[in-house]
């Protein structure tokens, strides 16, 4: 790369604030978060219950608007973007994995993974279908593509959710306690998978976790206490 290459972090938060409430009764739950994440980072977000982790993740995921400060996504200011543009940016730039997988019960694993691709173009190309199968293979579910979520274990369901999050090949994946609902062995497996995907594809991960054991395996740990970054 030339020395003139402009370096742009994937994410730049400056003094991000979030207030909830109305009618003059408001509570600020994020008190000025400043945070920069570089492309390819594998970062844990830890902190006590109620410290604002999910709120921060939802703001970074463009699901909620901050009430103050600024959020740059790949160098682009998101605060002034029209809703339609935010939706488009969210769709192609961010994958989500939640504690509860939010898979569609009536759809097979493959259909669940193909859904974000469908939403992108309105129909699927053969290459996109192949990618969905490949992703399910990558997460260890080659023999489960036609299973509905109800026929899968908790760990397997979460693997489908990970494959779905990666469907559009987003540069950033946000995971809110992705192992919170799993036993230790399944949680370890999921964590290892996320880490491998990060190494292989350079996808940036921000993972909320309660588990200090898992956080230790991240290259960076951001700690939130009472709506402030403390380390």
Which residues of the chain form contacts with ligand ADP (CB under 6 A)?
20, 29, 47, 49-55
Nearest approach, Cβ of residue 134 and ligand ADP (Å): 33
Q: Which does 157 bind (CB under 5 to 8 A by kind): ligand ADP, Mg ion, none?
A: none
Nearest approach, Cβ of residue 211 and ligand ADP (Å): 14
User: If 0-12 CB within 10 Å is exposed, 13-18 middle and 19+ buried, where does residue 210 land?
Assistant: middle
Of 94 and 114, CB closest to Mg ion: 94
Of 109 and 229, CB closest to ligand ADP: 229
Written as six digits, the tokens of 128 are 């996109």
CB of 99 closer than 8 Å to CB of 176: yes
Of 55 and 198, CB closest to ligand ADP: 55
CB of 158 closer than 8 Å to CB of 193: no
Of 151 and 220, CB closest to ligand ADP: 220
CB atoms within 10 A of CB 165: 25
179 binds Mg ion (CB under 5 A): no
54 binds Mg ion (CB under 5 A): yes
Of 53 and 131, CB closest to Mg ion: 53
Helix (H) / strand (E) element for 186: namely helix 184-201
Q: Which residue has the tokens 């497996």?
A: 189
Q: Which of 209, 215, 152 shows the shortest CA–CA distance to 175?
A: 209
Written as six digits, the tokens of 218 are 């991240």
CB of 164 closer than 8 Å to CB of 115: yes
Nearest approach, Cβ of residue 162 and ligand ADP (Å): 20
Of 62 and 136, CB closest to ligand ADP: 62
Nearest approach, Cβ of residue 35 and Mg ion (Å): 17
* φ, ψ (nearest 5 deg) of residue 10: -70, -30
Helix (H) / strand (E) element for 26: namely strand 25-37
Choices 10-18, 24-32, 53-61, 214-222; region in contact with Mg ion by CB under 5 A: 53-61
Q: Which does 51 bind (CB under 5 to 8 A by kind): Mg ion, ligand ADP, none?
A: ligand ADP
Nearest approach, Cβ of residue 50 and Mg ion (Å): 8
Q: Rounded to a whole number, what is the largest CA-CA distance in the chain?
A: 55
Nearest approach, Cβ of residue 53 and Mg ion (Å): 5
Q: How far is CA 98 from the centre of its chain?
A: 8
Binding site for Mg ion (CB under 5 A): 53-54
């Amino acid at each position: 790369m030339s020395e003139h290459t402009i370096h742009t972090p994937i994410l730049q938060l400056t003094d991000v604030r979030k207030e909830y409430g109305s009618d003059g009764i408001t509570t600020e739950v994020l008190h000025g978060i400043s945070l920069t994440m570089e492309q390819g980072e594998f970062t844990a977000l830890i902190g006590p219950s109620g410290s604002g982790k999910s709120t921060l993740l939802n703001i970074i995921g463009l699901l909620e608007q901050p009430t103050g400060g600024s959020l740059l996504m790949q160098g682009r200011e998101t605060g002034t973007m029209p809703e339609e543009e935010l939706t488009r940016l969210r769709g192609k730039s961010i994958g989500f994995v939640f504690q509860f997988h939010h898979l569609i019960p009536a759809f097979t694993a493959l259909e669940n993974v193909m859904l974000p691709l469908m939403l992108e173009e309105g129909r699927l190309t053969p290459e996109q279908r192949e990618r969905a199968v490949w992703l399910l293979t990558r997460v260890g579910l080659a023999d489960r593509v036609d299973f509905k979520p109800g026929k899968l274990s908790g760990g397997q369901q979460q693997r489908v959710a990970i494959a779905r999050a990666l469907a559009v090949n987003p540069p950033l994946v946000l995971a809110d306690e992705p192992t919170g609902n799993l036993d230790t062995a399944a949680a370890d497996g999921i964590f290892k998978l996320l880490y491998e995907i990060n190494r292989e594809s350079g996808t940036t991960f921000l993972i909320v976790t309660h588990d200090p054991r898992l956080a230790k395996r991240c290259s960076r740990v951001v700690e939130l206490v009472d709506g402030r970054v403390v380390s």
